[in-house]
Amino acid sequence: MTQTIQAKNVTLRDLTLQFGLQLTEDGQFFREWQDDLPEVTDDQKQFLDKVRAGYLNLVRDPPLLEKTIQITILGPFLFLADFFLPPFQIKTEQSIEITAEDEGTIVRGQIDILLMREQFWVAVIESKRFSFSMEAGLAQLLAYMLANPHPNQPGFGLIVTGGTFVFIKLIKDTVSQYAVSREFAIRNPGNELYEVFRILKQISVVKEVY
């Protein structure tokens, strides 16, 4: 009997048992968030400083909901990173479905934001309410990434939970593996939005590297 699971309810155990997904501790697996990151210009820093200030103003009057995060944090980020311009496309609320090899389990859901370049999935972005932890969205995001129709390319994802950001990389192969970056937080000293922006820009050209 086929079992259908909504992506928002899927667990890492489900993805491991049904789809063979594994976490890798290989330090060389996910270098894109660390190596040769592009520089941030002074104008870009000023823009990102305003985004940070806007966030700090918003959290004075919680709750900070998912749509608010998308409008006030993700929207400006994607604009600054030129994701609204060719060759990129942005799609929202994209329905996905993945089926286990034994066809006994189907996972269905809707991606918050999908960044595409010439039909190649550049990144999948999942936004969560301020009160959610990164762990709450990890399995859901990985399920979406497993639905990437381009297994010959690495997949990237970003979880945004209020003021924190975590990047994920997944490679679909005989054994599908994933790794996560460190957590970046708006409230940390300095403005870690600079680093998040640099990583997004790096991921946007990864197809040219592989």
Cis before 63 (ω within 30): yes
pLDDT tens column, 58-104: 888 777 777 888 888 889 989 999 999 999 999 888 777 777 766 66
Would you say the pTM of this structure is higher than 0.85?
yes
Query: What gap in Å lies between CA 134 and CA 21, rounded to an integer?
Result: 18
Structure tokens at 126: 């999942």
130, pLDDT greater than 60: no
3, pLDDT greater than 70: yes
pLDDT tens column, 190-202: 899 999 999 999 9
Residue with the two structure tokens 């060719």: 86
For 178, the enclosing helix (H) or strand (E) is: strand 177-180
Query: What gap in Å lies between CA 162 and CA 175, rounded to an integer?
Result: 32
Query: What gap in Å lies between CA 208 and CA 111, rounded to an integer?
Result: 25
pLDDT tens column, 137-153: 898 899 999 988 887 78
Query: What gap in Å lies between CA 158 and CA 109, rounded to an integer?
Result: 17
Q: What is the mean pLDDT of the chain?
A: 86
**pLDDT at 209 (0 to 100):** 45
Q: What residues contact 47, with CB distance under 8 A and at least 6 apart?
A: 76, 80
The residue-averaged pLDDT of 16-26 equals 92
What 3-state DSSP class applies to 79?
A: helix
Strands (E), 20-130: 22-23, 88-99, 105-117, 120-128
Q: Among candidates 32, 19, 23, 13, which has minimal Cα distance to 156?
A: 32
Centroid of chain to Cα 133: 14
Q: What residues contact 49, with CB distance under 8 A and at least 6 apart?
A: 191
Burial (CB < 10 A; 0-12, 13-18, 19+), residue 91, is exposed
Please tell me which residue, 101 or 105, carries the higher pLDDT value: 105
**pLDDT at 102 (0 to 100):** 60
**pLDDT at 129 (0 to 100):** 66
The residue-averaged pLDDT of 162-174 equals 89
Give the range among 14-18, 41-45, 67-71, 143-147 with minimum mean pLDDT: 67-71
Please tell me which residue, 131 or 21, carries the higher pLDDT value: 21
112, pLDDT greater than 70: yes
